[in-house]
Chains A and B, each alone.
Chain A
């Protein structure tokens, strides 16, 4: 077994009001960043897992997202990165 560091992005699904994202977008507009069209605020989760391969580590974290880390009703997730650990 090797060790992998898996990063997951979990964000509110498009179409569901994200008041934090809206507040941040409004603040950015106020600061002059008028090119900001949308902001969504989510979670970045970093997990160190033991697995045989990088793919297996990603699959394992996908199962964790389906069961606990993301809410399937309101959130989408993506595995952002899988890196080998020494």
Chain B
């Protein structure tokens, strides 16, 4: 399978994503510069983490107008998988590929730390290798990760099983102390209405080998491989 990793000016997790695909999964990957208009037949698009355009104005607000985002949107409309991590999640929300927005962390601090997230729906193309309620450990590294949306949107996301992950404690329990950025309803990741776009603030591509402290993120990539090649 071929993964296309979009590189914006200011992306800094594009190499991590590329390395996960090529070195850990043994699949194909290409970097796609944001000014290009060609996804080079990538089966999966990754919007990586970073600080595209210096996060000027709002995180992701300017990157969403990069030329290649037209192709990413068309790919998503065709049902193509899009994995949007951290800054990629912010860009996907700004682009309207996912609902809601990511705001300044409630603490106002940049947070770089491992967190626990719980699998809320194991039936998506990104989570089918996990069990319902499974607790995963992945790092976060963001200043603007507080998920916000209006109540109607939050109810719809929950009702349609589109909350993929929630921040929890090590045993899978919900409490304010385990919600690092103050996200509404402790939401860490969501999928689009058609289920083919996943946005999440934690970094699965930084949790793919025991050497990195966790390989819990690998399941997201393996889930995509299982579903897309099937």
Contacts and interface: CB of A to CB of B under 8 A. Distances in A.
What's the dominant secondary structure at chain A's contact region? Answer: mixed
B94 A71 contact: yes
A73 B106 contact: no
B100 interface: yes
Contacts, number: 36
B58 interface: yes
B57 A69 contact: yes
A23 interface: yes
Contact of A20 (B57, B65, B101, B108): B108
A80 B62 CA distance: 24
Interface residues of B, number: 21
What's the dominant secondary structure at chain B's contact region? Answer: loop
A68 interface: yes
B61 A68 contact: yes
Interface string B86-107: 0000000110000111011111
What 9 A-B pairs are tightest by C-beta distance, nearest first? Answer: A73-B101, A74-B101, A19-B106, A19-B108, A71-B101, A74-B148, A16-B148, A71-B58, A19-B104
